[in-house]
A and B are shown apart, each in its own frame.
Chain A
Amino acid sequence: MKVKYFEVVRTAAVILIALFLAFIIISLVSEQPLESIRIFLWEPLNTKGHIGNVIEMAIPLMFTGLAVSLLFKANLFNLGAEGLFYFSGVIAATLAIHLTLNSFMHPFVAILAGSLVGALLSAIPGILKAKWNVNELVSSLMFNNILFGIGLYILNYKLRDAQAFAAVSFKFEQTAMLTKLLPGTRIHTGLIIVLVLIVAAHFFLYKTKWGYEIRMTGANREFAQYSGMKTAKVIILVHLIAGFIAGMGGSVEVLGMYSRFQWSALPGYGLDGALVAMLAKNNPFSVIGAALFLAYIRIGADQMARFSDVPAEMISIVQAIIILLISAEQFLKFWKNRMLLKEAQRNV
């Protein structure tokens, strides 16, 4: 076994352990555990509609997962994607309601505006970090609250449709909404956008000098500085890009899945993005698989809640275990050390 496969094996082991524990929990709470597990594992793939659900859910997870991956890659533990995702959704919704444009330009303008607002807002914790070394985790989490508060205010006082029964906005213009790709599902053009973005991010990160700077700054900021890189600029740049992607994710989600803006709480995709990034080891291409996996177990849990006696919240436990084990650096470390030793002996 080679050391370079270590992370892959480790991630797989973590997922298996988490699923195994999920089965144990299901066996404990369910009257018919085998049936529940069957629903959990099989239902998400059973019908075209369900597969559609998985992919629909994976789209926003890919956006936020990609945004968070870039930040993590630069060794910035920033969880601000949550607030940006929400707030950019509000911006896109506002433009979807109030602008009159053709059906190509309308979503284009709304999404671009949402993305740019995301980038600019994201730059604030970035600048604070780069100039004054403000802890980005703290500032980004506080920004989540601020952005949620402002977003909710806009929803309640500017966009709210008094005719509707719930706290939702006016209807979007038909021209603003994203086209559905597959009949029978709600999979929308956002899927294409995010896949293009992932490929672009891969090339940016591994094939350009800016990506190289981000990776080196993340691996060892002092080394990057010593080599002559302006690491403060790098940190601001990566915040701008990540904010742009998270903002685009929020805008695309709103225009792709809904006809009114209706989030009266933070949707949680930003924090899920951190989980996706961890599973993907901050690698853009792996974000696709990680997002699909997370969407799959979520839809599985939904189905299970609907057709068996196990509540959907069960999946939070699985997620918690995955986060815990993945972030536990020492987990399986002894095994890596053994491999390292072997490799070293071979090289001598």
Chain B
Amino acid sequence: MTSQLLEMKNITKVYPNGVVANQKVQFSLSEGEIHAIVGENGAGKSTLMKMMFGMEAPSEGEIFLRGEPLKLTSPQDAIDKGIGMVHQHFMLVPSFTVAENMVLGMEPKKGVGINYSEAVRMTEEMSKKYNLHVNPKAKVEDLSVGMKQKIEILKALLRGAKILILDEPTAVLTPQETEELFRELKQLKEQGHTIVFISHKLKEVKAICDRITIMRAGKSEGVFLTRDVSEQDISKLMVGRDVVLKYDKISKPYGSDILSVNELSLSDETGKALLENVAFKVRSGEIVGIAGVEGNGQTQLVEALTGRLSVRRGSIAVKGTVIQGYDIGRIRSLGVSYIPEDRMRQGAAKEASISDNLISTQYRSKEMNSGLFLKGKTIGKLAAKLIEDFRVRCSGPAQPIGMLSGGNMQKVVVARECSTSPDLLIAEQPTRGVDVGAAQFIHQKLIELRDNGSGVLLISADLNEILELSDSLLVMYEGQIVAYLEEPSKVTEEELGLYMLGLQRQDDGQIRRAVES
């Protein structure tokens, strides 16, 4: 094996909000290899790479470049040391030409102006040298995603990058573009560059990488030679549960259909399919889980269910009412509640009081209004009761919600959504970023709601949560439902991993049971 080009030893990263993103992670990079980092969302891949690129500083641990200790305080430092990164979201100026983007920040000068023809020449030279074909005079906004990615790679190379970090580079590409990218990466490797490839698409990893570092829950699960491990092995190491939570659930026959989704299909402006023939139902007294690696259509599904995306093909019905063209207010009035994924963006108004945040979905009701004015006393009582019931740690209902910890803030959101006794609760990542205690509490509340006859649709990337809470489980992959599992608590992580990573798929008959059973 060639010498270690870059080593990261005992890296621990704790964010100011207390989230431990990396714990004693070891990582090493040999010169001239393509090295994959795989792991689920939130496994700590991106954090590790941000530290390698100088965007974050490790809380503990050291980084060595060619045996020398390396201290990075900014991405500029990393670039100077020959480390380049291509982000998932491109950092290009759309209204500039390719050449202008290439030289941004290091423009060749002619007097006080920019030597544009020199920039074009530099771009052409780089393009020829690395066999990455781009038109230097084209405007970036007119180019395809694949082309933009090439420019990003060239940009990094122009700045002297020997180590290239690619953050989920294929997530936005078509299969043809992906193949082209792989050809280019292999070429770069032959020219002596070292590439870090972040992904959770195992086929791709197998196709081009030499070694794999597998991450799970902030820790490294080991480094493997790609040829030594099968996709199944990787999936087993990637997808796993640390602590098994157990909840007692009363088993009761399900009631009537609360939500039925039929043949729902959606595509984006470019025609790329986001959802394909999604069909399932949620019955009263049932928690239906949706598992899947993030970005496989879950977000779009929730947006369609809550009226933010308009549905062209297929239908969604809540208690028999088709909700086509309804806005979220009307959907809510049918007895639907919704815990959003991002509590800061949608779930709460930071500066407003806890009490104001608790009533936002029911302030219009007769119980809260006496003709002209809101009933302050009723609202006060409700707020006090919810704070007590949900054990929200705060100084009182008048405290701004922004001052609470993440877990307590989320409890307020859950309290609000549960307080209207909904017929259907859509819970999107309900315990993301909250402490274990609060998470368990929220789980109990979801089960309580189910036991009282509500239907719950739970979308979560947390396997523990989804396997333990769900009465039946759907797995999504690339916008499709690929599996319907009736007894989630008996499903092994291994099996689930195969479905989540697209290595296995049930036949249509089995999937249809999500609607017909």
Contacts and interface: CB of A to CB of B under 8 A. Distances in A.
Interface hub of A208, A340, A343 (most chain B Cβ within 10 A)? A208
Interface stretch (B95-103, B166-174, B348-356): B348-356
A280 to B, nearest CB: 16
Contacts of A216: 349, 352, 356, 360
Nearest to B416: A227
A223 B343 CA distance: 9
A222 B360 contact: no
A344 B405 CA distance: 8
Contacts of A348: 393
Contacts of A340: 403
Interface string A218-246: 01101111111110000000000000000
B349 A209 contact: no
Interface in A280-314: none
Contacts of A212: 356, 359, 363, 374
Given A209-B374, A220-B349, A226-B340, A3 B403 contact: yes
Interface residues of B, number: 33
A347 interface: yes
B372 interface: yes
6 contacts: A209-B374, A215-B356, A216-B352, A216-B360, A220-B345, A226-B346
Nearest to B331: A228
A343 B376 CA distance: 27
Contacts of A229: 329, 360
Contacts of A208: 372-374
Interface string A184-209: 00000000000000000001000111
A219 B403 contact: no
Given A216-B352, A223-B360, A230 B403 contact: no
B403 to A, nearest CB: 7
Interface string A160-174: 000000000000000
Contacts of A222: 345-346
Nearest to A219: B349
Given A219-B351, A228-B329, 13 more contacts: A3-B403, A215-B356, A216-B349, A224-B360, A225-B328, A226-B328, A226-B340, A227-B361, A228-B328, A228-B332, A228-B333, A347-B393, A347-B394
Contacts of A203: 373
A226 to B, nearest CB: 4
A208 B375 CA distance: 9
B364 interface: yes
B395 interface: yes
Interface in A311-348: 340, 343-344, 347-348
Interface of B: 306, 327-329, 332-333, 338, 340, 345-352, 356, 359-361, 363-364, 368-369, 372-374, 376, 393-395, 403, 405
B475 to A, nearest CB: 27
B373 A220 contact: no
B403 A226 contact: no
Interface hub of A208, A222, A225, A228 (most chain B Cβ within 10 A)? A228
A278 to B, nearest CB: 16
Contacts of B306: 226
A229 B361 CA distance: 8
Nearest to A220: B349
A207 B376 contact: yes
Interface hub of A203, A212, A227, A229 (most chain B Cβ within 10 A)? A227
B351 A344 contact: no
Contacts of B333: 228
Contacts of A3: 403
Nearest to A343: B403
B391 to A, nearest CB: 13
Nearest to B403: A340
A232 to B, nearest CB: 11
Nearest to A340: B403
B338 A226 contact: yes
Contacts of B395: 343, 347
B350 A219 contact: yes
Given A228-B332, A229-B329, A215 B352 contact: yes
Contact of A223 (B327, B346, B363, B368): B346
A223 B349 contact: yes
List the 4 closest A-B pairs by CB distance, nearest first. A228-B329, A219-B349, A227-B360, A220-B349
